[in-house]
Amino acid sequence: MSKLIFNRLLLGVLTLFAVSVLIFVCTEILPGDVASAVLGQGATPEALVIFRKELGLDVPSHLRYWNWLVAALQGDLGVALTNKRVIVDEVLPRLGNTLFLAAYAALIAIPLAVGLGIYSAINEGKLMDKLSNILTLVAISLPEFFIAYLLIIAMAVNVDWFPSLSTVFTGMPFGERVHQTTLPAITLTLLVAAHMLRMTRSSVLSVMSTPYIEMAFLKGARRQRVITRHALPNAAAPIITVIALNLAYLVVGVVVIEAVFVYPGLGQLMVDAVSKRDVPVVQACGLVFAVVFVALNTLADILVILVNPRLRHKR
């Protein structure tokens, strides 16, 4: 088991290295010239040469990648082109806002989805099970920005329960921050809870057809007890995986939601950097997103190994 965990950690590190190469290459091959885009059309050739040298664009690409990677490993993500601020000082507060929103949505979505998924499996074929299947299918089918605008119309415009724009800042009271982020959190909850509910239900029902479950029924055990005591522990691996994937989505995939609600998170910072062609900030945001996504997936792989009885005990 220790060897498997080490292999998963090593695979995560190699994945991060590959993603860092991809991020750097993709930003390098973008059409146009960064110096010209930043300085504008009125820049003189001399100014462009000086600015390219300041950006390090006169250095070969592989050396620039190596310098960027080494600096990133030391916590130095560079300086923004637009305002000359240290990127880490801009990324950390935005990352904190994104993590707060993700944690808020996860605290609602995970218990709700897993609980309703187990309840649907217990009541397979009944009204509650059919209703949950229909509602989750609708939630998965609708685009996230469409759900966000529906919630804004329903809860911000019509009844004025929550603000349509989620404005948060450093030092804001916790209660006010929760109130400001409720609408985007509900939007994210509707998106990820549907996936987790369907996976929980499917995983539990797939285990229900195994011989040891049939033997438990033949011994007279009730369906609820069989699911909670026997089926659910053995269906935990795919449930943990889908929870980790959706937690990663709550952090990485919130770009659209943050743009709709003008939420000052990392996704909104990346959108602003793309519009201003601030390549170092785009690279930094992409790298942070990659670290979060790979870390959560690696953690899920390790938890799946730990909950598997065949790997916990020697044969």
Q: What is the pLDDT of residues 211-265, one digit of tens each?
A: 877 787 777 777 777 777 777 777 777 777 778 878 887 887 778 888 888 888 8
From 24, 135, 98, select the one nearest 248 (Cα to Cα).
Answer: 98
Location of structure tokens 């146009």: 32
Q: What single-letter DSSP state applies at residue 277?
A: T
CA 185-187-191 angle, 5° bins: 115
Q: Where are the domains of the chain?
A: 2-73, 98-264
Query: pLDDT digit string (tens) for 92-128?
Result: 888 888 888 888 888 888 888 888 887 887 777 788 8
Token readout for 285 is 């945001």
The number of beta carbons lying within 10 Å of the beta carbon of residue 279 is 21
CA 254-258-262 angle, 5° bins: 175
Query: pLDDT digit string (tens) for 174-183?
Result: 888 888 888 8
Residue 61, classed as helix, strand or coil, is: helix
CATH number for the segment(s) 98-264 = 1.10.3720.10
Rounded CA separation 290/134 (Å)? 33
Query: pLDDT digit string (tens) for 26-82?
Result: 877 766 566 666 666 666 677 767 767 766 666 777 788 888 888 888 888 888 877
Length of the chain: 315
The answer, yes or no, to whether residue 313 has pLDDT greater than 60, is no
In the chain, what is the straight-line distance between the N-terminal and C-terminal CA atoms, in Å? 12
Token readout for 265 is 């998170």
From 118, 111, 116, select the one nearest 231 (Cα to Cα).
Answer: 118
Question: Residue 314: what pLDDT?
Answer: 53
Token readout for 49 is 């040469």
